[in-house]
Amino acid sequence: MSAASTTILASSSGELPPVSSTIGALFLGWGISMLIFGLLCLQTWTYFSRYPNDSPRNKLLVASLCVLEIVHQVCIGHTCWVYSITEYGSLEKVLLGTTVWSLSAIIVLSGIIAATVKIFLGWRIYRVSQGNYLWMIFLSGLALTQTGLGLVFSVRAVDLPVAELGKLKTIATVALAIGAVGDIIAALVLSFYLHTMRTGFLKSGRLLNRLIVFSVNTGALTAAFSLAAVIAFQVMPDNFIYLSIYFFVCKLYSNSCLATFNSRTSQAAANDSFGLRSVPTAASHDLSMMRPRVVQKPSLDVEGGSERQANIQIGVHREAFTTVDDKPFRVSEGSVVIQYESQ
């Protein structure tokens, strides 16, 4: 037991924090993370059964996230086991003993998972913006910075008791704040580029509205829980409530990424309901195709006279196609017919 740890405990309230906000908070975070992990497993199974012919890049991303989340959940279970079973009945030993290695591993894995999803989100913005790589570089830089700060936190936490993790409050606050800001910026930028894809057709506008709402909701959700972990760490650094929140933040990132892949089927169904059928195309960006059609009826000559009747129809059929997440679909369709009659 270090003198600094004893001083920290004595300066708070003169007694150990209650079990409900320490060991109880750990188990609450473990339970919530298990529920979200179950959703992740379901989404992973749905993805591989629904998209067996998807690109190898997407399959590798989904498989990597699933493996990382399995290891992450095992580390959460190990942390809860050590602090509640191995050290059972000795809360003082839990708080004043050296931080368990699995807790540091949780922080590192959380940073890697969050960075992977955010880089993927930056790539989505690159595709939707038709090659604007600046936002991708900016968001990837924020993600890697957050991961680096998490690595620094985990390395320094190995040699510190849990009661002294408050010394690393600045590093944790900056890392989580960067993550929250990056989530909000990514959601707003993606929504902006989706908004610029509007063609003026009501049906395609509905589909884009769905994509915008989904992007904003996922970004706001991850940002909200990141900020909640920051606030809990700032206000209550002597208990484990901030850890219980941090346990499942990275799982929200993974689930949002898989939901993006799996929602392609529902978007395609929405296209059909709107009269916008999916059309295979090799284009990787938005394009419009103008297909003129000229239909001319045979002329009619009247025998023995000079009269001639002609009926000419000129039709212009316009179709606009786009690709979102490697899934092509038609976003607008319209026809204009000009009829000319002469006698």
**In contact, 135 and 271? CB cutoff 8 Å:** no
Tens digits of residue pLDDT in 248-282: 999 999 999 998 888 876 555 444 443 333 333 33
CB-side neighbour CA atoms (13 Å) of 101: 0
Which CATH architecture is the domain 3-273 placed in?
Up-down Bundle (1.20)
**Angstrom distance (rounded) from CA 210 to CA 204:** 10
CA atoms within 13 A on the CB side of 260: 24
* pLDDT at position 12: 47
Q: What is the pLDDT of residue 295?
A: 47
Closest CA to 113 of 298, 317, 252, 312: 252
The DSSP symbol for 21 reads G
Q: Can you tell me which residue has the tokens 């929405």? A: 270
110/106 Cα distance (integer angstroms): 6
What per-residue confidence (pLDDT) applies to 216? 78
Q: How many CB atoms lie within 10 A of CB 148?
A: 13
Residue percentage of the chain with pLDDT more than 90: 37
pLDDT number for residue 316: 54
* pLDDT of amino acid 320: 53
Buried b (16+ CB within 10 A) or exposed e, 65-78: bbebbeebbebbeb
Question: CB under 8 Å to 338, separation ≥6 — which residues?
Answer: 313, 314, 315
- Under DSSP, the state recorded for 286 is -
Q: What is the mean pLDDT of residues 167-182?
A: 90
Q: What percent of the chain has pLDDT over 70?
A: 69
The more confident residue out of 7 and 94 is: 94
Tell me: pLDDT of 298 over 80. no
DSSP line for 305-340: S--EEEEEEEEEEEEEEEEETTEEEEEEEEEEEEEE
CA atoms in the 13 A half-sphere facing the CB of 86? 11
pLDDT at 343 > cutoff 90: no
| Distance of alpha carbon 294 from alpha carbon 195, whole angstroms | 34
Q: Mean pLDDT, the chain, as a whole number?
A: 76
Give me the count of residues in the chain: 343
Amino acid 215: pLDDT: 75
* pLDDT attached to residue 340: 45
pLDDT of 30 reads 94
State the pLDDT at residue 49. Answer: 94
Lowest model confidence (mean pLDDT) among 119-128, 216-225, 261-270, 327-336: 327-336
Task: Give the confidence band of 158 by pLDDT, cuts at 50, 70, 90.
Answer: confident
Pairing of strands 327-342, 300-301: unpaired
Greater confidence (60 vs 199) lies with: 60
Nearest to 25 by CA among 246, 234, 231, 174: 246
Choose the weakest-confidence range: 179-183, 210-214, 330-334. 330-334
Residue with tokens 């989100």: 121
CA dist 235 and 215 (Å) reads 30
Contact between residue 99 and residue 162 where contact means Cβ atoms under 8 Å apart: yes
pLDDT for 166 beyond 70: yes
Cα–Cα distance between 114 and 122 in angstroms, integer?
12
Residue 161: the pLDDT is: 82
Least confident of 112-126, 154-168, 324-338: 324-338
Calpha distance 30→42 (Å, rounded): 18
The pLDDT tens digits for 11-65 are 444 577 777 888 889 999 999 999 999 999 999 999 999 999 999 999 999 999 9
317 compared with 128, residue with greater pLDDT: 128
- Alpha helices (H) in the chain, listed in sequence order: 3-12, 23-50, 56-81, 91-96, 101-128, 133-157, 169-196, 202-235, 241-273
Q: Using an 8 Å Cβ cutoff, are 106 and 33 in contact?
A: no
Q: Of 42-46, 94-98, 157-161, which has the strongest mean pLDDT?
A: 42-46
108-115 mean pLDDT:
94
For 272, other C-beta atoms within 10 Å of its C-beta total: 11
For every residue of 144-160, DSSP letters joined together read HHHHHHHHHHHHHHTTS
